[in-house]
Structure 1
Amino acid sequence: MHFPDSLRLSPSFLALLCSFAAPAMAVQVTDNLDLGGAIRARWDYDPDRDIQKFGLDTVFLSAKYNSDTWIGEAQYRFYGRSYPYQYTKDYGDIQFAKLAWVGYKFNPEQQVHVGLDTVPFGLQPYFGSTFYETLGNVIGLEDVQQIGARYIQQSGDWNLQAGYYLRPAWQGKGTSKGVTFSSVVSEADSYVADGSDNQERNTVVLRVAKALDLGPWKSEVGLSGLTSSLENKDTHNDGRRNAVAVHYLGKNGPWGVQLQAARQQMSPRNPGTDEVVTLGGYDGTYNVASRGNLYVADVSYDVAGKYLFDQVSGVKLYVNYSAFDKSADDFKTSQRVILGTSFSLSKLWVATEWIYGKNDPYIGGSSYTQSLGAGGSDQWENQLYMNIGYYF
């Protein structure tokens, strides 16, 4: 890839890339326990806003345990200093846990997890093939972890997952009131107009999916439901959050299709407007429309073979579309399109994505705090994004 002159690598970035190319250092402590992690860099290019940034993105450490009966996983992440966290002084000024759970396998078909674990809602583990993830992530439905218990049962072609979660993850270290890995209901920072202060409690989730063949397509169809209480810290009254989703996942040779439709309806007891609820994550807080429909469509293609002297493999091409259509008449629909590819380059894993968004808090400078609520610039904006990771 050719980088513009302003992105030519400094000695520190060269040292970073050299560290990526070092031999893998995974540690198998015992036959059952593995310690690992990742070092990831990112490149952001937005010509309309004159953003050309390359720097260290994430460092995370992980542990996994797996035996005939006991299982578990933990992951802790560090961010800071580099874009988009250039406002912090040191790397590690932003940090939080993603996972921290232990589990027990009753038998090969049944297990239970307890701790900070993934909420089983909709397509799993993500709502598509993208690295950047869909709008489902920022409205609090995709890749969400909370503290509680999850039961998993596989019965033939049927997969059942049920969860009860006491609360979202505890806040990590950062500058905001939204310092968690997941996008979760949060107390608003002072910069969020019409922000609220709610705490999500007692989340109950049920997901049922069935594997089946539809002609040549190996498929899965599923239904998910979620309900929780929203405890408002100002009025001391409880509202509710309800969500339901139907999904389809299909695979036919190299082709993959993922489809999902979801409805989220929150009825907060805010002292001000009930049309928005403040969510937070990744060291920021923002408003999300209380009621709306999420639509996701993803098509992917796996490219067989190895290339460039067998250094490039596992190539996947994909396009993903997600939209959050809000129920309030004067709220503008949020949309995100991602056209991308991911592949392995020697010991690195690389995702390169062109992201095209409208009323998207993360794309093109549309309002970060209001795009998922009333709306932002209401214009299509785009940027290029690359993530380069060394996993060990």
Structure 2
Amino acid sequence: MHHAWAGWKIDESSDIRAGIQQVPFGLLPYASNSFWFGSGYYLGIEDDYDLGVVWRRDDGAHRFHVGAFSGDEYGTGARYDRYSFDVATTEDLPYRERERLNLRYENVRDWNDGELALGASLFTGRVENRIEGEKYGHDGAALHAQWKRGQLTMQAQWARYRYRIDESRIAMSAFDFPFEIAAEADVPTFNVAYALPQTGWFDGITCYNNLSMTSPVDDDAGLRESWQNVTGCSFAKGKMFTYVDWIAGKNMWFVGGSGIGVDEPGSNRWRSRLNVNVGFYF
């Protein structure tokens, strides 16, 4: 399930939504431009959808989000077939997500002939060990910026997440496949995108480069930094939207790595692949 929510428009600048919806954290709606998203997506801090209530306010210069979530969208870490990445319950790491509070603020202003959005995000919550029944802290923070001038868009973000568990790793899952990540890490991101002038057959073409990494905070011997870089273009024509991406990764899940921020044999070298995705949206 992707999303399912009901909302109430309080006034012209604010509303409240309840249900399965996007968690307000970091750059919105995405800290990326490509089909593959950025590293944060696989870590559960980008384009994550969970069950909760979110109050939003946007008066132009100031944007606020306050969200309270009961856990992941299915209420269990044992279900791996999902769209957004959440804590997985595995035999070695039997955890699941529980309650969480999210706060996000963004200020929008004119700067250098463009629009600059500067913001900060925080969350605090808990995860539960399904065997012991004990709960452990789960928190994170991000500083984020986006600048748009004409057809150019630049994004920068620093995020840190932390699971206050005894182990140096925790398991995540989506698309029916669990894997392990570092339990605490910094996640810097830098993106640049340029929308080409509309010419020819396509309604729009945007080319981009998205760079992100995961740097474990712990010095544990079983951890190692992971890198991901995506270079590509998206093509829009009517109801059709196409991505052509070259994704490269080092020690990165989905590009030859066994996890993210973890050190496993054979993962510490650059690998890459070409991806073409054609979708029709009605």
Question: What's 1:293 paired with?
Answer: 186
Question: What's 2:89 paired with?
Answer: 187
Structure-2-length-normalised TM-score = 0.94
Question: What's 1:127 paired with?
Answer: 31
Q: What pairs up with 1:167-246 in 2 under 5 angstroms?
A: 167-170=71-74, 177-188=79-90, 195-246=92-143
User: 1:286 & 1:360 partners in 2: Cα distance?
Assistant: 11
Question: What's 1:152 paired with?
Answer: 56
1:103–1:354 CA distance, 2 compared to 1 (3 A): same
User: 1:163 & 1:284 partners in 2: Cα distance?
Assistant: 28
**The residue matched to 1:98 in structure 2 has which SS?**
coil
User: 1:322 & 1:167 partners in 2: Cα distance?
Assistant: 26
User: 1:334 & 1:284 partners in 2: Cα distance?
Assistant: 19
**Which of 304, 315, 320 lines up with 2:197 in the alignment?**
304
User: 2:230 & 2:267 partners in 1: Cα distance?
Assistant: 19
Which runs of 5 or more structure 2 residues have no equivalent in the other structure?
none
CA-CA distance at 1:306 after TM superposition: 2.2
User: 2:194 & 2:25 partners in 1: Cα distance?
Assistant: 25
Preserved CA contact (<8 Å) 2:68 2:99:
yes
RMSD of aligned C-alpha atoms?
Answer: 1.6
Q: Deviations over 1:172-229 (max 9, x none)?
A: 9xxx7412211001212x6xxxx31112111100000000112212110000001111
Identity rate of aligned residues, in percent? 25
Q: Deviations over 1:359-388 (max 9, x none)?
A: 11101x322xx3443356100000000110
Question: What's 1:43 paired with?
Answer: none
Question: What's 1:378 paired with?
Answer: 268
1:145–1:240 CA distance, 2 compared to 1 (3 A): same
Question: Which one is further off, 371-380 or 131-140?
Answer: 371-380
**One-letter amino acid of the counterpart of residue 252, structure 1:** R
User: 1:346 & 1:208 partners in 2: Cα distance?
Assistant: 34
Question: What's 2:172 paired with?
Answer: 279
User: 2:10 & 2:238 partners in 1: Cα distance?
Assistant: 39
**Which of 212, 235, 243 lines up with 1:343 in the alignment?**
235
User: 1:285 & 1:262 partners in 2: Cα distance?
Assistant: 23
Q: What pairs up with 1:299-338 in 2 under 5 angstroms?
A: 299-307=192-200, 311-329=201-219, 330=221, 331-338=223-230
CA-CA distance at 1:243 after TM superposition: 0.4
User: 1:236 & 1:259 partners in 2: Cα distance?
Assistant: 38
1:388–1:243 CA distance, 2 compared to 1 (3 A): same
Which runs of 5 or more structure 1 residues have no equivalent in the other structure?
1-96
**Which of 104, 125, 137 lines up with 2:8 in the alignment?**
104
Question: What's 2:158 paired with?
Answer: 261
Q: Does 2:282 correspond to 1:389?
A: no
Question: What's 2:253 paired with?
Answer: 361
Q: Which runs of 4+ in 1 moved over 4 A?
A: none
Preserved CA contact (<8 Å) 1:232 1:268:
no
User: 1:349 & 1:178 partners in 2: Cα distance?
Assistant: 27
User: 1:234 & 1:350 partners in 2: Cα distance?
Assistant: 44
User: 1:337 & 1:236 partners in 2: Cα distance?
Assistant: 39
Preserved CA contact (<8 Å) 2:20 2:50:
yes
User: 1:341 & 1:155 partners in 2: Cα distance?
Assistant: 33
Preserved CA contact (<8 Å) 1:275 1:290:
yes
Aligned residue pairs: how many? 278
User: 2:69 & 2:75 partners in 1: Cα distance?
Assistant: 16
Work out which of the two has the higher radius of gyration on C-alpha atoms and give 1 or 2. Answer: 1
Structure-1-length-normalised TM-score = 0.69
User: 2:158 & 2:2 partners in 1: Cα distance?
Assistant: 26
Preserved CA contact (<8 Å) 1:130 1:340:
yes
**The residue matched to 1:136 in structure 2 has which SS?**
helix
**One-letter amino acid of the counterpart of residue 276, structure 2:** M
CA-CA distance at 1:347 after TM superposition: 3.9
User: 1:207 & 1:332 partners in 2: Cα distance?
Assistant: 30
User: 2:261 & 2:180 partners in 1: Cα distance?
Assistant: 6
**One-letter amino acid of the counterpart of residue 62, structure 2:** W
Preserved CA contact (<8 Å) 2:214 2:260:
no
Preserved CA contact (<8 Å) 2:215 2:261:
no
